[in-house]
Structure 1
Amino acid sequence: MTTGEPEPDKACRKCGITKPASDFYMHQGRRHPRCKACLSEYYRDRYKQANGKDKVFEQSLKRLYGITLGDYNRMAAEQGNLCALCGDAPDTERRMHVDHDHATGKIRALLCHHCNLLLGNAKDSPHRLRQAIAYLELHHPAYTLAAGLAERLQPQEGQ
C-alpha cells in the first residue's frame, strides 16, 4: 500500500489461517491468495509429482543436446558410470557432464566435473593441453629431480 498504513491481516485460501500480510508474496500487484508456507508446500508437492530433478534434467538434456534421460543413462552405463576421460567415478553425487564439440554440437561422452572444466578451460585445444603437460612435467618435483640427476651423470666436456 502506498499510504504508509500497515496492510491488514489476510486469510490464506489454502489453510484458512489469518496471518500478517508479510506472510504472503506479492503477485501481480496484490498479495498472493496462499500464504508463503502453503505456497512452498504446493511447489514442493508439484516438484515431487513431476519426478523432480529427473524431469528438470531431462528437459535440459533435450533442449541443450537433443537427447533423453534414457539416452544419458545408457551412455553412463556404457561408461560404467565412470568419467570417459580420467576413468574415475565422479567425486560428488552430481551427475556427469555431457561433453560435446562446441563447434558441431556432436556429443562425445560423459565427464566428471573436473575433467569437463579441464577441457572447457583449455578451450578444447590439444595444443594447449600438451603445453600444460609440458609445463607440469617441467615443474614437477619428480621430473626436476630426475632431470638434475641425469645432468650430473652426463660426462662433462674435457673429462
Structure 2
Amino acid sequence: MSSDTEEARSCRTCGTVKEAEEFHRHQGGRRVHCKECMRAQHRERYRTQNGKDRVFDQSLRRLYGITLDQYNVMLAEQKHRCGLCGEVPETERRMHVDHEHATGRVRALLCHHCNLLIGNAKESIGRLRLAIVYLERHGNHHPAARLAARLQSDPGESEA
C-alpha cells in the first residue's frame, strides 16, 4: 500500500486529522496515535518512571556487570570524587566507570578528564610515564605533575 492511496486519519489522542505519513507504520497498517502524540507519551513515561536511572542501570549491567546500586556504593566510597585525581567533577554528569578493557574488571569511577587521559593513553603505563617526563621537561608546574614525579621517583610509594 503506497502513501498515495492512504487516506488522512484522525489521531485518537489529539483528535487532529493528519496525513497517513504522520502515523508510524505498524503490522501492515498505521498506528492510531500520531507521531507527535506518541513522542509526548514516551517522554512522559520516561519522566514518570525515572527513566534516566532505569536506562543507566541497564547500561551498567550490560557494559560492566554492575548495578546502579553498586555504582552508587562506589560513588559514596570515593566520597563523590574522581578515583584518579581525587577532585569533585566540574559538572553534574555522572562519573565514568573505569575498567580494564582486557578483563572487564571495574577499577573506579573517574571524572571526564581522567577517563579521557586513561583512554587516550590506551591504558599504557609507559605512555603515561613518558607524558610526565614530557610535562616536566617543558616546565609544567601543576600540583598533579609534581605528585606524579614524586611517585615516579619512589616506585614503592605508588604500589600502596
Q: TM-score band, normalised by the shorter chain?
A: 0.7 to 0.9
User: C-alpha distance in 2, partners of 1:90/1:28?
Assistant: 47
Q: Root-mean-square deviation (CA), in Å?
A: 2.1
Deviation, structure 1 residue 133: 1.0
Deviation, structure 1 residue 10: 1.1
1:101 maps to which residue? 100
Kindly report which structure 2 residues correspond to 1:143-158, keeping only aligned pairs within 5 A, or say none: none
1:96 alignment partner AA = M
For 1:110, what is the secondary structure of its paired residue? strand
1:154 maps to which residue? none
Deviation, structure 1 residue 12: 0.8
User: C-alpha distance in 2, partners of 1:73/1:50?
Assistant: 19
Q: Sequence identity, in percent? A: 60
CA displacement 1:106-149 (0-9 Å, x = unmatched)? 1111001110111011111111000011112222366xxxxxxx
1:32 maps to which residue? 31
User: C-alpha distance in 1, partners of 2:102/2:44?
Assistant: 40
User: C-alpha distance in 2, partners of 1:94/1:141?
Assistant: 29
Matched, 1:60 2:76: no
1:17 maps to which residue? 16
Instruction: Single out whichever of 107-116 and 85-94 deviates more from structure 2.
Output: 85-94
For 1:33, what is the secondary structure of its paired residue? coil
Deviation, structure 1 residue 5: 4.0
For 1:137, what is the secondary structure of its paired residue? helix
For 1:34, what is the secondary structure of its paired residue? coil
For 1:99, what is the secondary structure of its paired residue? strand
For 2:97, what is the secondary structure of its paired residue? strand
1:12 alignment partner AA = C
Q: Residues 59 and 45 from structure 1, CA distance in 2 versus in 1: closer, same or farther, beyond 3 angstroms?
A: same
TM-score (structure 1 length as normaliser):
0.78
1:120 alignment partner AA = G
User: C-alpha distance in 1, partners of 2:27/2:131?
Assistant: 54
User: C-alpha distance in 2, partners of 1:84/1:5?
Assistant: 59
User: C-alpha distance in 2, partners of 1:35/1:59?
Assistant: 29
For 2:137, what is the secondary structure of its paired residue? helix
1:126 maps to which residue? 125
* Structure 1 consecutive aligned stretches of length 4 or more whose deviation exceeds 6 Å: none
Deviation, structure 1 residue 6: 7.2
Structure 2: 5+ residue stretches without partners: 142-160
1:153 maps to which residue? none
For 1:114, what is the secondary structure of its paired residue? helix
Deviation, structure 1 residue 101: 1.2
Q: Residues 28 and 117 from structure 1, CA distance in 2 versus in 1: closer, same or farther, beyond 3 angstroms?
A: farther
Deviation, structure 1 residue 13: 2.3
